[in-house]
């Protein structure tokens, strides 16, 4: 569903959010910061299209903690704590919807359908984060990249060519690698028929890529 406001901004929005009086759609551009680490929570953001990264900078080193895509909630845990524990930045052009944290908190306290929808969204995020943790701890760099590409192929509906939706430096950090390690890992995947053409990834033998992580 598409929601617009008087300023002409448009964002994809789950239908259940339309019941919030504080709903605000927005379009953000790559590199735009939604909030900084340590800021008080004022609004909760939902991604309609595009991608947003949660980032931290321990010891001055930028680390991508999570990437939130269409249908995801940005830092929902902060609703309880009241303060953002990390920063959020658009890593592609994106459409968002946001609601006032006070109104959302009251809906959660009241229970009912709106609370159920938000809890379901948080549960989906928890499952994704759990899978990401297992991937980082149990899979090699090659396997991590292969799993990402397989998921991207499923999301884009193609087993021949996909387009990276954000910068390789973001991908490297999210997968727990340096940019140089990511480049080496892409080279290693050539044996599975994977080639890189700028932002496009070409699969000559998608089944070979799947076999790499099927053991």
Give per-residue pLDDT as tens, 12-23: 677 788 888 999
**Domain end among 91, 110, 137:** 137
User: How far apart are alpha carbons 174 and 53 in whole angstroms?
Assistant: 9
Same domain (yes/no): 60, 152: no
Same domain (yes/no): 14, 34: yes
User: How far apart are alpha carbons 214 and 194 in whole angstroms?
Assistant: 17
Angle 141-156/112-138 helices, nearest 10 degrees? 140
**Domain end among 137, 158, 176:** 137
Same domain (yes/no): 68, 173: no
User: Which CATH number fits the domain that encloses residue 82?
Assistant: 2.60.120.10
Same domain (yes/no): 111, 19: yes
In this predicted structure, what is the pLDDT of residue 183? Answer: 96
- Model pTM score: 0.84
Same domain (yes/no): 16, 66: yes
Give residue 104's domain range.
2-137
Smallest CA-to-CA distance from 175 within 74, 72, 66 is with 66
In this predicted structure, what is the pLDDT of residue 102? Answer: 93
Q: Which two tokens stand for residue 10?
A: 């448009």
In this predicted structure, what is the pLDDT of residue 158? Answer: 94
Give me the residues paired with residue 203 across strands: 194
Same domain (yes/no): 121, 84: yes
Are the C-beta atoms of residues 152 and 69 closer than 8 Å to each other? no
Work out the burial of residue 174: count CB atoms within 10 Å of its CB; fewer than 13 is exposed, 13-18 middle, 19 or more buried.
buried
Q: Which phi and psi angles does 49 have, rounded to 5°? A: -150, 155
Same domain (yes/no): 10, 111: yes
**Domain end among 137, 170, 196:** 137
User: How far apart are alpha carbons 150 and 210 in whole angstroms?
Assistant: 7
How many residues make up the chain in this entry?
215
pLDDT digits (tens, 9 = 90+) for 125-136: 788 778 888 888
Same domain (yes/no): 95, 149: no
User: How far apart are alpha carbons 166 and 53 in whole angstroms?
Assistant: 10
In this predicted structure, what is the pLDDT of residue 215? Answer: 62
Quick check: helix, strand or coil at residue 92? Answer: coil
Segment (H or E) for 133: helix 112-138
Determine how β-strand 63-68 pairs with β-strand 52-56: antiparallel
pLDDT in tens, the chain (215 residues): 333 332 233 346 777 888 889 999 999 999 999 999 999 999 999 999 999 999 998 878 889 999 999 888 899 888 888 999 999 999 999 999 999 999 999 988 888 787 887 788 778 778 877 888 888 888 999 999 999 999 999 999 999 999 999 999 999 999 999 999 999 999 999 999 999 999 999 999 999 999 988 86
Same domain (yes/no): 100, 159: no
Torsion sign, CA atoms 123, 125, 126, 130: positive
How many domains are contained in the chain? 2
């Amino acid at each position: 569903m598409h929601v617009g406001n008087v300023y002409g901004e448009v964002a994809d929005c789950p239908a259940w959010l339309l019941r919030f009086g504080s709903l605000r759609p927005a379009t953000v551009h790559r590199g735009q910061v939604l909030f900084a680490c340590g800021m008080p929570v004022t609004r909760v953001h939902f991604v309609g299209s595009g991608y947003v990264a949660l980032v931290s900078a321990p010891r001055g080193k930028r680390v991508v903690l999570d990437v939130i895509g269409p249908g995801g909630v940005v830092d929902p845990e902060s609703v309880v704590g009241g303060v953002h524990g990390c920063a959020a930045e658009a890593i592609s052009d994106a459409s968002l919807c946001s609601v006032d944290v006070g109104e959302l908190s009251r809906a959660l306290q009241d229970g009912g359908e709106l609370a159920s929808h938000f809890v379901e969204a948080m549960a989906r995020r928890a499952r994704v984060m759990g899978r990401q943790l297992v991937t980082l701890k149990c899979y090699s760099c090659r396997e991590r990249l292969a799993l990402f590409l397989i998921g991207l192929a499923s999301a884009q509906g193609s087993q021949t060519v996909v387009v990276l939706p954000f910068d390789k430096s973001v991908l490297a950090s999210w997968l727990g690698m340096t940019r140089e390690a990511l480049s080496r890992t892409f080279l290693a995947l050539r044996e599975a028929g994977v080639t890189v053409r700028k932002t496009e990834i070409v699969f000559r033998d998608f089944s070979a890529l799947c076999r790499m992580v099927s053991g």
